[in-house]
Structure 1
Amino acid sequence: MSDHSAVSSPNGSVAPISGTSAVGAPSAAARAHVIDIVRRSRSSFQTGMRLLPPRRRLAMYAVYAFCRLVDDIADGGEARDRKAERLSDWSQEIDAVYSGKPTHPVGEVLCWAAGRYDLPKAEFEAVIAGMMHDIEGETVLADRAALTLYARQVAGAVGILSVRIFGVPHPESELFATELGEALQLANILRDVDEDAAVGRVYVPQSCLRRHGVPAAAPAVVVAHDGFVVACGELATEAASKFAEARAIAGRIRSPRLAPAMVMMAVYADLLRSLNARGWTAPRQPVVRSSTRKAAVAIRGAALGWRWPSFT
């Protein structure tokens, strides 16, 4: 359950396109396809990506488009076996990307980006592994370690790819990426507890639920239990701690190239504050923040990133 809006991009199945050029710059058709996916998504991540120079922005758009397509498969209405087949197709496309022979427009741009920014293949594989977890019937995480692994797959992996593209060669850049990725994912989980329960998913770990007296039951029963309120508050405290740790690491890195990440940190930390202010007792109303508020928060995040001198 990564952070994507309900607007679907074009069919996520891997299909060849004409004009694919795996060597050098990606074709105009591939670039346009990737940009269209991002624009149609209306994701809050666009705000941070717009701060990047054109080539780095295109590389981030390709990473986002890949995540968007595999997430759409996991969240779609097809049968489990069909979802698994389509995710397997994307595993094969990533193999093709790293062999220099992509067949999909997103793969074409990823092939260029992977070569230019030294993107690890394992991180794309981790994202697909997280999506495979989501298609396995009811989603249940046994303990905090399982939640950490899931967050590392669907969010930390994207963070590591991102800092490579941003150009932040600092010893702590990947630690920053994984800490921030987990913070963002915890905020997503807390925002979407009722929406996820409606499709059979509970991401609050069972060990935490048992500690607060929540029985092993159908997701709708779990999220209505009084103990679930306490469990959400506990997870929100952990999320705040992750945001604080990511901020501390960013302060040690002190690079203006982290500005896009600082925007996302500011936006999601503000979301977490809004969720805490609303509370966790059912029925939980969706948190709605005005465009003005979100823009102001994003500007503050960008300003924090830009005020640091470059270490390069």
Structure 2
Amino acid sequence: MTVHAAEEISKNKEEYILLDRAKTRNTGNGVCTPEDVRAVAEIVKQAGTSFAKGMQSLSLTRRIGMYALYAFCRVVDDIADEDGPEEEKIEALQAWKKRISALFSGQTGDSLDRVLLFAIRRYGLAQQDFNDVIDGMEMDAQTAIIAPDEATLDLYCDRVASAVGRLSVRIFGEPSPLGSKVAYHLGRALQITNILRDLGEDAQRGRLYLPAELLARYGIPKDPYEALYHENLSDVCRIMALRAQDHFREAYKVMAQCDKKAMRPARLMAFAYEALLKAQKKKGWNNTGKSVSLAPWQKLGIAVKSLLA
């Protein structure tokens, strides 16, 4: 995709001319060039993700929009996770808020800016959703999250997952309130699945994303390592898994009311993560040192299922 997309752009340049052709001081004629896309695609490539394969069902322009969104999320997430003083990370994230504000005023500075601006204008992306993602990164950057209360955990899930979903569904082609409802439920389902999968890895970083209220109910200490080996940990994880499953169920219900083609990438993500959740439930939480993963044949089955759904 990374090279192919850029080559395809040169054959279909009209698809990459921003809808707003008005010349401004900083955006020139509003063209998103093949060189810009290559630069953004390289960010995705360097991340070593299978993200590109999941976007193959999208048209070229929508794929470019998703590449820009992924690159943005990758960059701000790296800021939050990198070593260094908290003040510097917060400063860098605040700089990104200013950069997003500039984009919505039509000002660009580099390739990522220009491809993001293309996506913003073409798909009507909302500035608040970008800011919500950055706010979620700030929650991780300010201090290690350890046993947040239920409200804080839900806010965190909304910012780091559902906000990305709200941006994504617009690029997919479902800008309606139903699309936002899919993002609400699917984002929380995916993030809870991530939390349950990454308990051991998070503990190594001094983090614990299980809610304080549930830990207290089962007498589990808030210390990440002590919680990891507590005899009642499985009880809390099973409750969280049920919550994730409820969100998957609601997401599927709403997807059925949306444009089927637009929801294809969302279904693919839902099927993949639901399969991970089921694998984690089968494995249990007595050994959190090794994350679950899917075999190639399982991934193929998920892809087929998403196409037939």
TM-score after normalising by structure 1: 0.86
Name the CA distance, whole Å, in 1 between partners of 2:228 and 2:237.
Answer: 10
Partner SS, residue 51 of structure 1: coil
User: 1:136 is aligned with what amino acid?
Assistant: Q
Question: Is it true that 1:249 corresponds to 2:254 in the alignment?
Answer: yes
Query: How do 1:112-127 and structure 2 match up within 5 A?
Result: 112-127=118-133
Name the CA distance, whole Å, in 2 between partners of 1:87 and 1:248.
Answer: 36
Name the CA distance, whole Å, in 1 between partners of 2:111 and 2:146.
Answer: 34
Partner SS, residue 70 of structure 1: helix
Give ranges in structure 1 of 5+ residues lacking alignment.
Answer: 1-19, 305-312
Name the CA distance, whole Å, in 2 between partners of 1:150 and 1:281.
Answer: 26
Aligned position for 2:290: 285
Give ranges in structure 2 of 5+ residues lacking alignment.
Answer: 1-25
Aligned position for 1:25: 31
Q: Structure 1 residues 169, 66: CA separation in 2 closer, same or farther (over 3 Å shift)?
A: closer
Residue 291 (structure 1) shift: 2.0
Query: How do 1:165-244 and structure 2 match up within 5 A?
Result: 165-216=171-222, 218-244=223-249
Residue 77 (structure 1) shift: 1.4
Count residues with an aligned counterpart: 284
Taking every aligned residue pair, what percent have the same amino acid on both sides?
37
Q: Structure 1 residues 264, 44: CA separation in 2 closer, same or farther (over 3 Å shift)?
A: farther
Name the CA distance, whole Å, in 2 between partners of 1:285 and 1:169.
Answer: 38
Q: Structure 1 residues 104, 89: CA separation in 2 closer, same or farther (over 3 Å shift)?
A: farther
Question: Is it true that 1:103 corresponds to 2:90 in the alignment?
Answer: no
Q: Comparing 126-135 with 29-38, which one deviates more in the overlay?
A: 29-38
Aligned position for 2:148: 142
Are 2:228 and 2:288, in contact at CA under 8 Å, matched by a contact in 1? Answer: no
User: 2:87 is aligned with what amino acid?
Assistant: D
Name the CA distance, whole Å, in 2 between partners of 1:289 and 1:118.
Answer: 35
Aligned position for 1:271: 276
Name the CA distance, whole Å, in 2 between partners of 1:180 and 1:119.
Answer: 19
Deviation string for 1:242-295 (max 9, x for gaps)? 111101111122522110111101100000010001001135432132222212
Residue 23 (structure 1) shift: 4.4
Residue 53 (structure 1) shift: 0.3
Name the CA distance, whole Å, in 2 between partners of 1:23 and 1:147.
Answer: 43
User: 1:149 is aligned with what amino acid?
Assistant: L
1:92 to 70, 80, 98: 98
Partner SS, residue 290 of structure 2: coil
Residue 296 (structure 1) shift: 1.9
Q: Comparing 20-29 with 194-203, which one deviates more in the overlay?
A: 20-29
Name the CA distance, whole Å, in 2 between partners of 1:22 and 1:184.
Answer: 39
User: 2:75 is aligned with what amino acid?
Assistant: L
Task: Provide the aligned C-alpha RMSD in A.
Answer: 1.6
Are 1:22 and 1:102, in contact at CA under 8 Å, matched by a contact in 2? Answer: no
Name the CA distance, whole Å, in 1 between partners of 2:236 and 2:65.
Answer: 38
Residue 135 (structure 1) shift: 1.1
User: 1:267 is aligned with what amino acid?
Assistant: A
Residue 71 (structure 1) shift: 0.6
Partner SS, residue 67 of structure 1: helix
Are 1:152 and 1:178, in contact at CA under 8 Å, matched by a contact in 2? Answer: yes
Aligned position for 2:306: 301
Name the CA distance, whole Å, in 1 between partners of 2:176 and 2:97.
Answer: 30
Residue 21 (structure 1) shift: 4.4
Aligned position for 1:5: none
User: 1:155 is aligned with what amino acid?
Assistant: A
Are 2:79 and 2:93, in contact at CA under 8 Å, matched by a contact in 1? Answer: yes
Q: Structure 1 residues 53, 259: CA separation in 2 closer, same or farther (over 3 Å shift)?
A: same
Residue 177 (structure 1) shift: 1.2
User: 1:162 is aligned with what amino acid?
Assistant: S
Are 1:208 and 1:231, in contact at CA under 8 Å, matched by a contact in 2? Answer: yes
Are 2:241 and 2:277, in contact at CA under 8 Å, matched by a contact in 1? Answer: yes
